[in-house]
Amino acid sequence: MFQIIIRNKLEKLVRQYFQKHPEVKLVAVVGAVGKTTTKNAIATVLSKKFRVRMENGNHNTQLSVPPALLGVKYPEGHVHSPLAWLRVFGAMKKRIKAESDVDVIVQELGTDHNGEIPHFGKYLRPDIAVVTSVAPEHMEYFKTIEAVAKEELSVTSYSATTLINRDDTDEQFAEFILSDKINTYGIHEPAEYRFETVGEQDVLKGFSGQFISPELGDVPAVVSLIGQHNLKAGIAAGAVGAKLGMSAAEISDGMDEIHTVPGRMNVLRGRAGTTIIDDTYNSGPSAAIAALKTLYQIKAPLKFAILGSMNELGETSESAHAAVGDYCNPEEIEYVITIGEEAEKYLVPAAKTKGNRVASFRSPIGAGAFLNKRLQKGAVILAKGSQNGVFAEEAIKMLLHSTVEEDQLVRQTPYWLNLKAKLYDNQK
């Protein structure tokens, strides 16, 4: 009951804010994977023309979205404190009364249960919504991919217009699109907004070529994100910019400044002249396969893949892990190194059947120590895994060129480090 009272008050304040400041545009980002990278890319491009507000973390829940929209700090660690929420309400009321300090708000909306994306429509009316993907997520609750599609695409019912990633949203889900005011984006035609590479590409440096849009035609652009799945975030950013009236030069400059988000295909220097691709923020089957596909495109004398268990897959866990294991290519990977019980139980047998050499560990410490003994100059290491119980970033920590770069890893705050320390003690 307490949380419902708090939520209702927060939503009322957000309604008041947009009533007081109707000139402020709202861009909402939803989808099974890629929300935070896409949100950051959109904010980066839009900042070339507009004053933009974007919450730097990933506060995308029913309670954390309203404060983020108004630029008010979420009371992390104090969500059960009435006094903490009174402070939040006070700060939000000040935002409402003050002159607007932004032109566009970019906000991600998350879900892990049926009905959460539709609920945001009770108090939000995005000018543009971006659907990054429909893919397996929180399957212990959603059960079927159709349920995921219905949930994520419900944003079309209350948004003025919606951009849908055509590459990662199957046409069979069209029945769940509740508006005809949509456009598509993706790598290739027939997506209306797309990117055409020009010349030879260096996978570890991103993409150079042309952003193509109905409004502006061909726009020379560089997107320094790793992997085609991340390039789509850059395309979405260009598409939002074009829809909001940005010029070709502004969009080109903005796309050139898009940067990698920690833990999401972030390239780091490893020990002994190695390169680490840090994709440890979270993991799901489609994202893991996309990361492996990128690894295969890199020219290197030696490649390793650290693959952690993928959480919250419910009854689909066995088939999802097996699909990732089946995608592991022994001609590309020296060793498949797994972290966690689900990966060991389901991913490992499939990877072995494909002919891969595999080493399994319950903790990231064991995985990092194992790989640390096998590093060779020029090797490339991909690390991918879910957070709770996996924490593949701790394996990377043992492989970094310098401890200075630890601040680029995810979950390094005292809260997370204490949580992980307790987990490792229990695993001894």
Total residues found in the chain within this entry? 428
pLDDT at 188: 85
Q: What is the mean pLDDT of residues 28-43?
A: 96
CATH number of 266-427: 3.90.190.20
Instruction: Of 101-110, 130-139, 155-164, give the lowest mean pLDDT range.
Output: 130-139
The predicted-structure confidence for 203-239, as pLDDT tens digits, reads as follows: 999 999 999 999 999 999 999 999 999 999 999 999 9
Structure tokens at 356: 């891969």
Mean pLDDT of all residues in the chain?
Answer: 95
> What percentage of the chain reaches a pLDDT higher than 90?
86
Between strands 182-185 and 266-269, the pairing is: unpaired
Whether the predicted pLDDT of 309 surpasses 80 = yes
Separation between Cα atoms, residue 250 and residue 256, nearest integer Å: 10
Separation between Cα atoms, residue 312 and residue 320, nearest integer Å: 11
Separation between Cα atoms, residue 247 and residue 215, nearest integer Å: 9
Closest CA to 198 of 212, 215, 184, 185: 212
The predicted-structure confidence for 140-174, as pLDDT tens digits, reads as follows: 889 999 999 999 999 999 999 999 999 988 888 99
Give the start-to-end residue ranges of the domains of the chain. 2-256, 266-427
Q: What is the mean pLDDT of residues 386-396?
A: 92
CATH number of 2-256: 3.40.1190.10
Whether the predicted pLDDT of 348 surpasses 60 = yes
Q: What is the pTM of this model?
A: 0.92
The predicted-structure confidence for 196-213, as pLDDT tens digits, reads as follows: 999 889 999 999 999 999
pLDDT at 42: 98
Whether the predicted pLDDT of 10 surpasses 70 = yes
Closest CA to 26 of 61, 50, 62: 50
Is the separation of the CB atoms in 130 and 35 below 8 Å?
Answer: no
